[in-house]
A and B are shown apart, each in its own frame.
Chain A
Amino acid sequence: MTAPSLEFNQVHIALHGRTLLALDARVAPGEVLTVMGPSGSGKSTLLAYAAGFLAPAFQASGQVLLGGQDVTALPAEQRGIGLLFQDPLLFPHLSVAGNLRFGMPRATPDKAAKVETALADIGLAGFGQRDPATLSGGQQARVALMRLLLSAPQAVLLDEPFSKLDTALRHEMRQLVFDQLRGAGLPSLLVTHDSDDARDAGGQVIELS
């Protein structure tokens, strides 16, 4: 897969006429751009904007480009941008395998085998039929990551994905996530207030105030 790059071209977001944030950046395939800032600095607004969920109350200008294509006007599901939240948000009504299959493009051949391989990749072989609620926090986080990757996104947004894990697990997950993203050659945007996240990500860091 030849991954494209993710660009933020003169992005400017305001609420009730007050500027929240301005960003102009380019993320190459396999790279992670980290945006840092305290609560209320507009980090989540940036993610909502990039993913296509910005509430109508905000006024935004600029463009999001994916592989040179302007996706700003596209609805969320057609942007090809995946999103990883703080919580794993595994669908509670589906099995683990059901969650993994959820995002796979319809034409994917031999879904069952792909799901098995993916589970084995994250050390959860044979967990397919399990109820996600019975998994540990770390296991759930891994399934969520794998679900994201199996949906074959062109770029990934990370919304403080490690903040709810305990310290030991957090380091391990960072390694796993960044390795996988790099391995897939995806451009990623990470927002966080944890400088350790930024360090492990290893890409450029932008501080919002």
Chain B
Amino acid sequence: MSLPRSCHALAASLPLLALLASPTALAAPDPGDWQSVVEEARGQTVYWYAWAGEERTNDYIQWTADRVAERYDIELVHVKLSDTAEAVSRVLAEKQAGNDERGNVDMIWINGENFATMKANDLLFGPWSEQLPHYPLTDPDNTPAVRYDWTIPVDGLESPWSSSQVVFYYDTALVDSHPRSMPELLDWAHDNPGEFTYARVPNFLGNAFITQALLELADDTEILYEPMQEEDFEAVTAPLWAFLDELHPLLWRSGRAFPGNSSELRRLMGDGEISIALSFSTTEASGAIANFELPDSVRSYVHDHGMIGNMSFMAIPYNAQHKAGAMVVANYLLSPAAQAHKQDPLVWGSNTVLSLETLEPDDRARFDDIDLGIATLPPDELGEVLGQPHPSWVDALAEAWQARYVGR
């Protein structure tokens, strides 16, 4: 879609332009006419491609499937991925083969680079998300995170689902006082070599750690929210490499191996191999304690500078076969009932994207009643949320990290 951005606002209100904007939109449902979308969705089977490495996520998706079957007569099928990019690959393979109308992927749980890629390659359907009946509950005008996914304008191409923030967690039985910043973490690592590590870059949690470190260490962070210019990279990132070069020999396995993802990191913590780890979910530690994966002496903490946070979304591929069904599901996922259920750490513990001020008192009460668990920081202790830098920076950081530390 090469329409100038201003056109999108217009397209949102004019079904005719929406038709023009999307190459396959002839048969596509019109999100402006919600009643007809719900009608069309009836009886559809929606294939939702979503990362499935977390059983509580899978259980929650199953819970959703039961609800939408009952309410909207939609059969929701969770296609379990070990990497979201698999879904991107699939849509690409379909486009490559000329399958522009009968795509297999109806909906993807997505954000960041995967979204940027799909958007840049015209692999997404829309705009649609801002017309969802529940969308206003996110208070988009006062919540930029809903409209910018890692600084990339969402442009109505994806609907918000979950909000997350990086937190550290540590075992109080092994660590007396936790670090409060990256330099303190380095000092702590000097005193406790081999007891900390992070996920292997380019895993999203690994990327998050080095991005967080850069945000804390760089002199000027403004520049990180603009597309990266080659000539700036070295100067801006120099403090990060100095920090990592010093940190790596002090890491678990002396930095010669890294856990592949957040769950592997959590397992190392559970096995007692490390005593500080990090997570992209503020309630992960509490959930893992309930699951016997972590000892109950584990607690969460954040750095004084604030921690990186972002949102994840639902997107619909341009060639999805059941767009109406996907929109109805996405809208249901935004409902206060579904969002509150999701936030319960006993269910999943993933933070809501709704703005609690916009909710009716009854709906608000659903959130107030949730017990967040012993290892979860209350909202007022989570500190400032730092925005995700532009994907071009994260890409370049990940690439430079690999060139520097892989195969040595």
In-complex A–B contact (CB below 8 Å) = no
Interface residues of A (CB under 8 A from B): none
